[in-house]
Amino acid sequence: MEMNFHTRKWVKPEDLNPNHTLFGGRLLQWIDEEAVIYAIIQLENTKVVTKYISEINFINAPVQGDIIELGIVAIHFGTTSLTMRCEVRNKLTRQPILTIDKLVFVNLGEDGLPVPHGKTSISYVKDRLDNAG
Ligand SMILES: CC(C)(COP(=O)(O)OP(=O)(O)OC[C@H]1O[C@@H](n2cnc3c(N)ncnc32)[C@H](O)[C@@H]1OP(=O)(O)O)[C@@H](O)C(=O)NCCC(=O)NCCS
CATH number at residue 48: 3.10.129.10
Residues 6+ apart with CB under 8 A from 128: none
Q: For residue range 91-103, list pLDDT tens digits in order.
A: 999 999 999 999 9
Contact 41, 48 (CB under 8 A): no
Q: Which domain holds residue 101?
A: 4-132
Neighbours of 131 (CB within 10 A): 8
Residue 2 pLDDT exceeds 90: no
Contact 43, 78 (CB under 8 A): no
Look at residues 50, 56, 71, 70 and name the one whose alpha carbon lies nearest to residue 24. Answer: 56
- The per-residue pLDDT for 15 is 98
The pTM of the full predicted model, rounded to 2 decimals, is 0.95
Residue 133 pLDDT exceeds 80: no
Per-chain mean pLDDT for the chain: 97
Atom of ligand 1 nearest to the CA of 108: 3
- The per-residue pLDDT for 1 is 78
Give the whole-angstrom CA distance, residue 131 versus residue 26: 39
- The per-residue pLDDT for 22 is 98
Residue 54 pLDDT exceeds 80: yes
Q: For residue range 102-124, list pLDDT tens digits in order.
A: 999 999 999 999 999 999 999 99
| Residues contacting ligand 1 via CB (< 6 Å) | 49-52, 78-81, 104, 106, 114
- The per-residue pLDDT for 122 is 95
- Domain total in the chain: 1
106 Cα–ligand 1 center, Å: 6
- The per-residue pLDDT for 4 is 87
Residue 84 pLDDT exceeds 90: yes
| Ligand 1 atom 17, closest CA | 81
